[in-house]
Amino acid sequence: MSTLLQINNLFKAYGSQVIFKDANLTIITKQKVGVLGRNGAGKSTLFKLIVAHEAIDSGILLVHNKARLGYLEQQDQYELTETVIEFLMRYTAREEWLCGKIAASFQLKNDLLYAKIGSLSGGYQMRVKLTGMLLKEPNLLLLDEPTNYLDLSTLILLEQFLKTYRGGYLVISHDREFLRNVSEYTLEVEHGGLFLYPRPLEEYLAYKEEQLELKQKHNVKIEQQQKDLQVFVDRFRSKASKARQAQSKIKIINALKKIDIPHSISTVRINIPKIEDKKGLALRCNNISIGYAGKVVADEITFDISRGEHIAILGDNGNGKTTLLKTLAGELPCLAGKVRWMPDIKIAYYAQHVPGMLNPQQQVGQYLQTVAAPGVSIQDMYKMAGNFLFKGNDLKKSISVLSGGERARLCLAGLLLQKAQILLLDEPNNHLDFETVEALGSALATCNSTMLFVSHNRTFVNLLATGIIEIKNGKVSRYPHNYEEYVYHLEQIMSDDNNNGDNIKKSPIEPLNDKKPNDYQKRKLLDAERRKLNKKAKSLEKSIAKHEAEKQEIIKDFEINPIYSQARNEHLSKITKLLEEQERAWLTLQEALEELGTEI
């Protein structure tokens, strides 16, 4: 393992705001690091410093010669009129067949390779950017919020890719599930420092909690010792016979030091006031069509929503999720059919563009007073503002100085002050750190308002959704199962698509058009694929042999000692199930090798 990135005593400030102070970090090859930190902590700034888009104020930031950085640039490098394959070849100077092979990893195949980039949805445009970055063969990726605005299909593809990526990466994301699945190390950006923990996210959070408790217990113990010693000093300080002992106790008191615990960053705790609890129907859509003038996005839409339901609207980008919400909110007219809300229902709508449309001259408190429902007291407004971390002088801040995350929080606070019976939420979790996302999801889950929402953050949807509406191929329908089953089903589809022969049989050796790799390239790719599959097969054979021996030992133990043991029973079941899975995987590898013209 060699060092790719070295940071020592880094200092960076913007005016009086210190972002990094004496920050240190070392990244070696193949480290897969999830980066977390609250909004404004400096995560994106760190990446900009690494790629030299911004300069450090002092300290050392060294990118070693062996490092080939891949930075997912926020600014698009493609022209919207270019086709996918034209851009990839121009941007990377790579052969067409190789561009097509890497693009296929993100299911950019066939007609999609020759589609104009401007005609693709945001999720597919992100796939094009990822492909372009990877074709430059980086060994250290810097991914700044790659999951923002990604549909679930693209998110799963990215996740599957990162799990098998041979290089290393630092990835910023506010999706806890995503970080949990793709990171082996955790880097927290907090209090001007960088702390790299050599374990995944959940283990780091548990470690952090343990360390905080230990420090607090230590400080309580020190305080008690100081108090006990001070009692002796106060009692005997004036007595000549005890004066020396009293002075000794004073020295001990001064020597006892507490552990400095940095002031913790405020945590969002959101309490949503209940509305009047009513039963019955909230919404009926009867054979409606949605879209724009001259373009139908989806039609023949019929469904009912009951009061109190929390419905997640899911589907790939470009299929019409936002269009459906806009139609339900009345911002777009139905092209056919009718949307019928029940009488006396107030609707509050959070759109993706809303935070960017706030009046920059208005103060935080003024905005909340403006949007709050009649009858909402100043005290209730202050309480809701505090829920979203706007306290004291924060209410006098101009909206112009707020970050994207702060503006999103402000809009959500204003939305909840409206006390609406219906909440329509389009990506409410974008720009929010994952603590805020989870606090919002947990609070909304207990709210008795009826909700229809769009989100690709799996943790948020898991916390909130009681039902699912899926938009796919111009049709809208209620999904009959829960969200976990929906994600599992989609993961299976993505996995099957990536292993259905396009990966093994076609992509390494078959051309995407008339420009073909030569025979040597074909043979080299085939040999590499054989070696990879053979290696996996041999590793599985060893593991199968090991677990088979373990299974036989358990069976033998049953014969010697037939007394029932739940632990032994469960262990045998676990080993048997694992063996079945490994044997199926081994057979799949054998079939793949046979397709490549060899035997295991």
Report the predicted TM-score, pTM, of the whole model to 2 decimal places: 0.67
Cβ atoms of residues 2 and 28 within 8 Å: yes
CATH 3.40.50.300 for domain 281-479, yes or no, is yes
Which amino acid, 218? H
Cβ atoms of residues 140 and 69 within 8 Å: yes
What confidence tens digit (pLDDT) does each residue in 97-137 have? Answer: 999 988 988 888 888 999 999 988 777 888 899 899 989 88
pLDDT above 90 for 237: no
Distances (CA, A) of 2 to 31, 137, 226: 11, 17, 48
What confidence tens digit (pLDDT) does each residue in 357-406 have? Answer: 788 889 999 999 999 988 888 988 988 898 888 888 889 999 988 877 78
Distances (CA, A) of 201 to 34, 98, 184: 7, 35, 8
Cβ atoms of residues 544 and 537 within 8 Å: no
What confidence tens digit (pLDDT) does each residue in 321-358 have? Answer: 999 999 999 999 999 999 999 888 899 999 877 777 78
pLDDT above 50 for 72: yes
- Tokens 């207990």, residue located: 446
SS3 labels along 355-366? HHHCCCCCEHHH
Q: Specify the pLDDT at position 57.
A: 94
Q: Specify the pLDDT at position 386.
A: 87
- Summarize the confidence of residues 400-413 as an average pLDDT: 84
Helices 152-164 & 483-498 angle (0-180, nearest 10): 60
Residue 363 neighbours by CB distance under 10 Å: 16
Rounded Cα gap, residues 417 and 270, in angstroms: 12
What confidence tens digit (pLDDT) does each residue in 439-449 have? Answer: 888 889 988 89
Q: Specify the pLDDT at position 311.
A: 96
Total residue count of the chain as it appears in this document = 600
Most confident option among 143-152, 450-459, 574-583 = 450-459
pLDDT above 70 for 39: yes
Q: Specify the pLDDT at position 242.
A: 72
Cβ atoms of residues 259 and 215 within 8 Å: yes
Q: Specify the pLDDT at position 148.
A: 72
Take residue 416 and report the two structure tokens written for it.
Answer: 């909840």
Domain boundaries, the chain: 204-255, 281-479, 518-595
In terms of Cα–Cα distance, which of 277, 283, 224 is closest to 451?
A: 283
Helix, strand, or coil here: 350?
Answer: strand
What confidence tens digit (pLDDT) does each residue in 275-314 have? Answer: 777 888 999 999 999 998 888 999 999 999 999 999 999 9
